[in-house]
Homo-oligomer: A and B are copies of this chain.
Amino acid sequence: MTTLDTRAPATATPSPAIDPPRRLLMGPGPIDADPRVLRAMSASLVGQYDPVMTQYMAQTQELYRTVFRTTNDATLLVDGTSRAGIEAAIVSLVSPGDRVLVPVFGRFGHLLREIAERAGAEVHVIEREWGTVFPTSELVAALDEVRPHLLALVHGDTSTTVAQPLEEIGAVCRERGVLLYADVTASLGGNTFAMDGWGVDAATAGLQKCLAGPSGSSPVSLSDRAVEVVRRRSSVEAGLRVLTDDDPDAVDRIRSNYLDLGQILEYWGPRRLNHHTEATSMLYAAHECARLLAEEGMDAAVARHALHGSAMVAGLSGLGLRLFGDQAHRMNNVVGVEIPDGIDGEAARAALLRDFAIEIGTSFGPLHGRIWRVGVMGYNARRDTVLTTLAALEHVLRTAGVPVTAGAGVGAALERYADAA
């Protein structure tokens, strides 16, 4: 036999306990979680089939129906980050060889494309310059040309700060027998979204944006049409079958076990078939995120994001920064601004973090080094966070050599608040 690796195990002194410094997270997410959500996570655990647990699961489903504005029975959590929810929807709805149309107007459109490709789909992409959105007519034309099984698109793409209008496309999809999937990770809770009203068949989200929680749980909802597709491809896990001829494997089996929405539905549904071990603390967090939104009311939450987002826009403009992207389709919860000529964007971001403990966002791909992204969302969609960020940014810009009028950012935001009052 060959010699085994005999390198000694690590014997480093254990690290100290975590003790994170206080930050004000004003980037495109994650943002500071609502303290009530963080506290919910430190509640003690219960067993995964404890009646208390199944009751919390049912409440969570009902709460997310409110958040997604749907009556979909199939409303649940996928245990992973928002990206896990995206992949669960796509890999469960798309069989290898299925045609998928992906309109790409930012980074997360590319992600949908990539996930659909890996799921074996025949992916057709239409692209738009980052910062713009598709007119519905372009989507309709592409639907008619490609005739896909699924139209997969991002609602609000934080990489470009704009949101694709979705109000009309659901009806077009239904008429053509096309399933409509929307990634609402960055938009849900801070921008109007009406799953049933708009005819969306599958939507997935995350907690770390307007829902005011930490990343790590992905709320998902499926229409009855979508559930039908998933169920046709589903099978019961081998280790759970008492007899081997019970529930034989589907012919067109979903490629993932972990992200198989058919099995996850059986776990959340009345059969309660064991799948993963539910991430209880993240479920507590997701429950509290949705509960706080439901308590506030979805319209009020959207209005709050619109107000504070517009105050941030006014303030950043007041500081002389040029707004990025199609302002008619700006997301309420994230603002893109061009980095002023001649300054080092990353150095300025680092100074803001070092001196004021405030984080704003960098950007990806074609926008890298060109724009900053400033988030106003979830727990941080507040007046004090907007004004504090603007005051701090004014100092950082001036130190970097950018000519700014003293108080111009905060002043413009205050005017916006006065107008709205």
User: Which residues in A have some Cβ–Cβ distance to B below 8 Å?
Assistant: 1-12, 14-15, 17-23, 25, 27, 29-33, 36, 38-48, 50, 52, 56, 59, 62-63, 65-66, 69-71, 79-84, 86-87, 91, 106-111, 113-115, 118-120, 159, 170-172, 174-175, 194, 196-199, 206, 208, 214-216, 223, 237-242, 253-259, 274-282, 284-285, 287-288, 291, 294-295, 353, 359, 364-366, 368
Which of B20, B45, B294, B368 contacts A33, CB < 8 Å? B45
Query: Which chain B residue has the least Cβ–Cβ distance from A9?
Result: B69
Contact A41 B44 (CB under 8 A): no
A175: chain B residues at CB < 8 Å are 1-2
Contact B281 A285 (CB under 8 A): yes
Q: How far is the CB of A337 from chain B (nearest CB, A)?
A: 18
Give Cα A145 to B214, complex, Å.
48
Contact A294 B113 (CB under 8 A): no
Q: How far is the CB of A224 from chain B (nearest CB, A)?
A: 9
User: A111 with B46: in contact, given A4-B170, A38-B41, A294-B14 (CB under 8 Å)?
Assistant: no
A281: chain B residues at CB < 8 Å are 33, 38, 41, 214, 216, 281-282, 285
Q: How far is the CB of A205 from chain B (nearest CB, A)?
A: 12
Contact A240 B15 (CB under 8 A): no
Q: How far is the CB of A322 from chain B (nearest CB, A)?
A: 22
Q: How far is the CB of A418 from chain B (nearest CB, A)?
A: 31
Q: How far is the CB of A253 from chain B (nearest CB, A)?
A: 6
Contact A257 B114 (CB under 8 A): yes
User: A242 with B366: in contact, given A32-B44, A80-B79, A214-B45 (CB under 8 Å)?
Assistant: yes
Contact B59 A45 (CB under 8 A): no
Give Cα A242 to B295, complex, Å.
43
A118: chain B residues at CB < 8 Å are 253-257
A111: chain B residues at CB < 8 Å are 237-239, 257
Contact B30 A277 (CB under 8 A): yes
Give Cα A323 to B84, complex, Å.
40
Query: Which chain B residue has the least Cβ–Cβ distance from A75?
Result: B10
Give Cα A258 to B85, complex, Å.
9
Contact B39 A42 (CB under 8 A): yes
A365: chain B residues at CB < 8 Å are 239-242
